[in-house]
């Protein structure tokens, strides 16, 4: 504490941008009295500060403070998806020095003098997290702050989209959505703000979500060696504490609180091609034609801002796109969908002739300044006004306007510039006096900038869902706040076409996933500058396994479809796109897991191996689900690299060779090679490659079975119609299988989605000695790789394949 204080003098120069600056902050007074409520207690301090502890679940406690003199604020947050929680039992114990609130999992100890909050594990009484000084507020500025003791070996993860390494220890960050083209490692803040993080020490994790949308600051022991500090420029000190100890459990709760990702349509997992900008319409026909001619998979083409009439949202440029419905119909015949960009700026056109402006103005949907004047910014259409998406009727109006796009067959919406960016001032300084309706609270700009994109994408997502109730909405957004996963896929904005930016993808995607946002990706091979063939090849080796796989580039980039980089790079891109499409059953199954549990598809090794200290800051490898580990080459000129494999058995994905884990190995990685490993114990479903996701059903369905050191493996396949929301009503099918000591058990499928007839092929790795196979006790005939008849055959010295028609029933196969 003294160290913190002494550092402060040196920090004064940095101004209040640092979380560590406690100048002017008034600490909450000592604890004076306590009152019970339904789900927790109100702690009143000597100075009048009231700290509310609310038990939402045994592992989730909310701490909300109203400081002395602080005006009451409505208890509403755009981030929160769930406010009603089933009662979870708790007790309160009052002692001389402290009061303790106990749930089944947590002890929240509040020391009276001074007021310090401490979270302990109820089972072991181990301190998980503790205040270093009382929570505080500056009565002049409204700034609020919390300081936590920093563990000697405590590591930090999350905070969403940050251009930084995976482990946030010894780093500081600001939350203020910002349009930062060409950002590099260390640029902060960038587009998104997700003030949620996870602390991990000695294998035990906790989560902390500061639900305050004002500009805020986090310092994880950078400016001081012994504290982890948080401060927000204004608003309510309101945080949620999650008990682990597992990261996956915390992610489950965090996404229960802020919402889970709905399943996107299957085609969203397909390869997507964009540029700034494709026009006229015939250009898109040609790109699609070239894709098919080059035998490169493609599901989506994007229209950037030039499709609009003078950049007016919800219009079409009639000369470039005379018949958009005919265009989308032609592309649909090739299995290609169209996604259009949509900016928040509505052209300011008081002279008339633009109904979107006229209507929005007449209904008072546009943001105004404190003095009542319209806020007019500078964006693509020139002067532009912005919708106040905190108004429910404005959101609905915006959503209904989407018919201008969905009517002619547009399949998804790309929301850009929603920090919101204003060319006249990208920092928000000149927007400070804008007032948001905010459910009648008329809240200031500072509270609303970081949630602007959340509400814009919400309006867009809900509009799509309303206009096309039989289809899953697809929205991709640049900016966002906690909870953004409920509405949109996130891409990481205007990245550079450099190897540094490629390497930065891994911690960025991993951190977004650790912050509740599972559907992420970045522009391939980078938005700014022209990447070369080598970068393109290496980028696709990563992107093939990333949820969003989208090629996009700036207006002045050379054309950058994969064939433009020469035959070698094109061949490599084809190889990895085909890998992606073969793995669609696996990727989709893993995406459904993210939807259902909050545990993302793209994972740092840490998420699967949180007890392994070697994974604490490992961010040049990643895993897909818990079955595949990729160690891509991330540097120019390298043709090999070191790969860390956690303990257990692994299999080289390409050769099937078993590799012992718990070690770092050196592997070759020529330009066309991605070091890729399957984890022993897993089952990976796949099918044949195809040119787009809707080309044909998944037949055959292959299950690669990789036994662990004990000879066990288990996994499943998730399927549904891939396009409608019926999966929410259980119209899906799960096929589960497990393998143990020579016996493969196929469970009867669960769920009532009925796929077309198809074959299963089970590939059993590590099966060198098998000489016979029985099906439910009867001998299974031998067959061959090329025959389509049921039976079994040896595919390689180590791999036995069983072919079996999917008859929707449980079966047992014995391998001897």
Q: Spell out the SS3 assignment of 86-129.
A: CCCCCEEEECCCEEEEECCCEEEEEECCCCEEEEEECCCCCEEE
Nearer to ligand MIG, 317 or 494 (CB): 494
Least Å distance, CB 551 to ligand MIG, is 12
Please indicate whether residue 419 is annotated as part of the active site: yes
Q: Is 494 in the site for ligand MIG (CB under 6 A)?
A: yes
Pick 142 or 553: Cβ nearer ligand MIG: 553
Cβ 405 to ligand MIG shortest distance, Å: 15
Find all residues with CB under 8 Å of 60, minimum gap 6, and list them: 85, 240, 241, 242, 243, 253, 257
Q: How far is CA 45 from CA 34, 99, 679, in A?
A: 9, 13, 54
Residue 416 binding ligand MIG, by CB under 6 A: yes
Minimum distance, C-beta of residue 305 to ligand MIG, in the bound complex (Å): 4
Give the H or E element holding residue 247: helix 247-258
Is 377 an interacting residue with respect to ligand MIG (CB under 6 A)? no
Query: Which residues 549-588 are close enough to bind ligand MIG by CB under 6 A?
Result: 552
* Burial status of residue 768 (CB atoms within 10 A of its CB: 0-12, 13-18, 19 or more): exposed
Q: What value, to the nearest 5°, has the Cα angle with vertex 421 and ends 418 and 425? A: 160
What is the number of H-type helices and E-type strands within the chain?
13, 54
CB of 277 to ligand MIG, least distance (A): 7
Residue 650, helix vs strand vs coil: strand
Whole-number minimum distance, CB 180 to ligand MIG, in Å? 10
CB atoms within 10 A of CB 582: 16
Neighbours of 598 (CB within 10 A): 25
Question: 79: helix, coil or strand?
Answer: coil
Cβ at position 432, least distance to ligand MIG in Å: 22
DSSP 45: E
- 121, 109 contact by CB (below 8 A): no
Among 107, 281, 304, 620, binds ligand MIG (CB under 6 A): 304
d(CA 43, CA 786): 73
Which distant-in-sequence residues (6+ apart) come within 8 Å of 649 by Cβ?
658, 659, 660, 661, 679, 680, 681, 706, 707, 708, 709
Instruction: For residue 579, give the 3-state DSSP assignment.
Output: helix
Report if residue 276 touches ligand MIG, rule: CB under 6 A: yes
Pairing verdict, β 300-303 and 271-273: parallel
Paired tokens of 216: 């805020």
CB 767 within 8 A of CB 802: no
Q: Which is nearer to ligand MIG, 303 or 705 (CB)?
A: 303
The 326-345 site mask, x for binding ligand MIG (CB under 6 A), equals ---------------x----
Q: Which is nearer to ligand MIG, 390 or 418 (CB)?
A: 418
State yes or no: residue 183 binds ligand MIG (CB under 6 A): no
Tokens of 11: 């920090």
Bridge partners of residue 27, in order along the sequence: 136
Question: Which position among 478, 560, 649, 679 is part of the footprint of ligand MIG (CB under 6 A)?
Answer: 478
What's the closest the beta carbon of residue 527 comes to ligand MIG, in angstroms?
6
> Minimum distance between the CB of residue 522 and ligand MIG, rounded to whole angstroms?
10
**Chain centroid offset of residue 57 CA:** 24
Judged by beta carbon, residue 552 or residue 765, the one nearer ligand MIG is: 552
Residue 422 binds to ligand MIG (criterion: CB under 6 A) = no
Number of residues that bind ligand MIG (CB under 6 A): 11
Distances (CA, A) of 358 to 315, 352, 393, 779: 14, 7, 16, 76
Nearest approach, Cβ of residue 151 and ligand MIG (Å): 38
Q: Smaller CB distance to ligand MIG: residue 276 or 703?
A: 276
Instruction: Please count the other Cβ atoms lying within 10 Å of the Cβ belonging to residue 725.
Output: 18
Q: Under a CB-based contact definition with an 8 Å cutoff, are residues 737 and 758 in contact?
A: no
Q: Which is closer to ligand MIG, CB of 51 or CB of 303?
A: 303
Nearest approach in angstroms of CB 680 to ligand MIG is: 41
Shortest reach from residue 422's CB to ligand MIG, in Å: 11
Letters for 496-535 (x = contact with ligand MIG by CB under 6 A, - = none) are -------------------------------x--------
**Cα–Cα dist 573/557, whole Å:** 19
Shorter beta-carbon distance to ligand MIG: residue 284 or 629? 284
Measured from the CB atom, is 135 or 554 closer to ligand MIG?
554
Q: Which of 59, 416, 422, 626 is catalytic?
A: 416
Selected binder of ligand MIG within 160, 360, 493, 715 (CB under 6 A): 493
Give min distance, CB of 192 to ligand MIG, in A: 13
Residue from 305, 479, 545, 628 that binds ligand MIG (CB under 6 A)? 305
Structure tokens at 643: 């790969």
> Which residue is closest to ligand MIG by CB?
276
Which 535-554 positions form the footprint of ligand MIG (CB under 6 A)? 552
Catalytic residue among 494, 593, 619, 720: 494
Looking at the Cβ atoms of 182 and 262, the one nearer to ligand MIG is 182
Instruction: Tell how far CA 735 is from the center of its chain.
Output: 26
Q: Nearer Cβ to ligand MIG, position 119 or 276?
A: 276
Catalytic residue among 21, 172, 219, 419: 419
- Whether a cis peptide bond, with omega within 30° of 0, leads into 280 is yes
- 413 near ligand MIG (CB under 6 A): no
218 sits in which H/E element: strand 216-220
CA distance 645 to 664: 6
519 — phi, psi (to 5°)?
Answer: -105, 95
Number of residues in the chain = 816
Is 416 marked active-site? yes
Does the annotation mark 494 as catalytic?
A: yes
Closest listed residue to residue 181, CA positions, set 556, 510, 548: 556
Q: Residue 339 or 577: which CB sits closer to ligand MIG?
A: 339
722: which residues sit within 8 A by CB, 6+ positions away?
265, 266, 267, 588, 693, 694
- Could you list the residues that contact ligand MIG (CB under 6 A)? 276, 304-305, 341, 416-417, 478, 493-494, 527, 552
What amino acid positions are annotated as catalytic residues?
416, 419, 494
């Amino acid at each position: 504490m003294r160290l913190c204080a002494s550092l402060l003098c040196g920090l004064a120069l940095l101004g209040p941008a640092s979380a560590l600056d406690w100048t002017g902050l008034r600490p909450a007074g000592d604890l004076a009295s306590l009152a019970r409520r339904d789900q927790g207690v109100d702690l009143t301090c000597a100075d009048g500060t009231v700290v509310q502890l609310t038990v939402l679940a045994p592992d989730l406690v909310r701490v909300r403070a109203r400081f002395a003199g602080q005006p009451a604020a409505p208890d509403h947050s755009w981030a929160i998806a769930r406010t009603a929680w089933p009662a979870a039992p708790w007790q309160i114990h009052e002692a001389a020095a402290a009061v303790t609130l106990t749930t089944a999992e947590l002890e929240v100890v509040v020391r009276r003098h001074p007021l310090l909050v401490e979270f302990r594990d109820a089972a072991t009484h181990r301190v998980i997290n503790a205040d270093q000084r009382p929570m505080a507020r500056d009565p002049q500025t409204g700034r609020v702050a919390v300081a936590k003791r920093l563990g000697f070996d405590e590591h930090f993860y999350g905070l969403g989209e940050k251009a930084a390494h995976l482990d946030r220890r010894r780093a500081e960050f600001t939350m203020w959505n910002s349009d930062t083209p060409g950002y590099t490692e260390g640029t902060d803040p960038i587009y998104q703000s997700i003030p949620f993080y996870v602390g991990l020490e000695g294998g035990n994790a906790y989560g902390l979500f500061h639900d305050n949308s004002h500009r805020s600051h986090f310092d994880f022991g950078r400016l001081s060696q012994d504290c982890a500090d948080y401060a927000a420029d204004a608003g309510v000190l309101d945080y949620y504490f999650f008990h682990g100890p597992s990261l996956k459990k915390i992610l489950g709760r965090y996404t229960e609180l802020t919402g889970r990702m709905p399943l996107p349509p299957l085609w969203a997992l397909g390869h997507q091609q964009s540029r700034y900008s494709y026009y006229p319409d015939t250009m898109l026909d040609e790109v699609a034609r070239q894709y098919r001619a080059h035998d490169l998979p493609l599901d989506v083409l994007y229209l950037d801002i030039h499709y609009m009439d003078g950049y007016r949202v919800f219009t079409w440029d009639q000369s470039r796109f005379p018949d958009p419905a005919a265009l989308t119909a032609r592309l649909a015949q090739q299995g290609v969908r169209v996604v259009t960009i949509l900016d928040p700026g509505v052209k300011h056109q008081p002279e008339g002739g633009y109904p979107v402006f006229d209507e929005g103005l007449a209904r008072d949907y546009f943001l105004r300044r404190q003095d009542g004047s319209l806020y007019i910014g500078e964006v693509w259409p020139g002067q532009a006004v912005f919708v106040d998406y905190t108004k429910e009727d404005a959101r609905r109006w915006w959503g209904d306007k989407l018919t201008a796009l969905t009517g002619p067959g547009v399949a998804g919406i790309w929301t850009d510039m929603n920090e919101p960016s204003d060319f006249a001032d990208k920092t928000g300084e000149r927007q400070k006096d804008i007032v948001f309706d905010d459910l009648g609270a008329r809240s200031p700009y500072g509270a609303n900038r970081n949630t602007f994109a959340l509400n814009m994408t919400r309006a867009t997502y809900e509009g799509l869902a309303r206009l096309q109730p039989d289809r899953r909405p697809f929205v991709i957004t640049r900016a966002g706040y906690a909870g953004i996963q409920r509405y949109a896929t996130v891409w990481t904005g205007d990245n550079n076409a450099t190897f540094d930016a490629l390497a930065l993808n891994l911690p960025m995607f991993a951190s977004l996933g650790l912050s509740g946002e599972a559907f992420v990706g970045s522009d391939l091979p980078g938005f700014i500058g022209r990447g070369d063939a080598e970068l393109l090849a290496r980028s696709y080796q990563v992107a093939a396994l990333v949820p969003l796989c989208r090629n996009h580039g700036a207006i002045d980039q050379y054309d950058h479809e994969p064939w433009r980089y020469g035959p070698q790079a094109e061949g490599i891109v084809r190889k990895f796109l085909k890998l992606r499409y073969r793995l669609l059953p696996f990727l989709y199954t893993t995406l459904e897991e993210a939807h259902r549990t909050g545990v993302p598809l793209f994972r740092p090794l840490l998420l699967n191996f949180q007890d392994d200290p070697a994974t604490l800051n490992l961010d040049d490898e990643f895993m897909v689900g818990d079955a595949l580990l990729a160690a891509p080459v991330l540097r120019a000129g390298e043709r090999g690299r070191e790969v860390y494999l956690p303990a257990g058995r692994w299999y080289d994905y390409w050769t099937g060779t078993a590799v012992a884990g718990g070690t770092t190995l050196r592997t070759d990685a020529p330009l066309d090679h991605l070091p890729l490993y399957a984890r022993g114990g897993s089952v990976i479903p796949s099918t044949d490659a195809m040119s787009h996701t809707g080309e044909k059903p998944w037949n055959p369905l292959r299950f690669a079975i990789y036994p662990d050191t004990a000879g066990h493996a288990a996994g499943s396949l998730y399927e549904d119609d891939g396009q409608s929301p019926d999966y929410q009503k259980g119209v899906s099918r799960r096929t589960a299988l497990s393998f143990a000591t020579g016996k493969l058990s196929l469970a009867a499928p669960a769920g009532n989605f009925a796929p077309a007839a198809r074959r299963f092929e089970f590939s059993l790795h590590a099966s060198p000695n098998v000489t016979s196979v029985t099906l439910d006790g009867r001998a299974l005939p031998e067959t061959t790789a090329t025959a389509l008849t049921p039976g079994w055959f040896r595919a390689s010295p180590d791999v036995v394949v069983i072919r079996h028609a999917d008859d929707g029933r449980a079966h047992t196969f014995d391998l001897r």
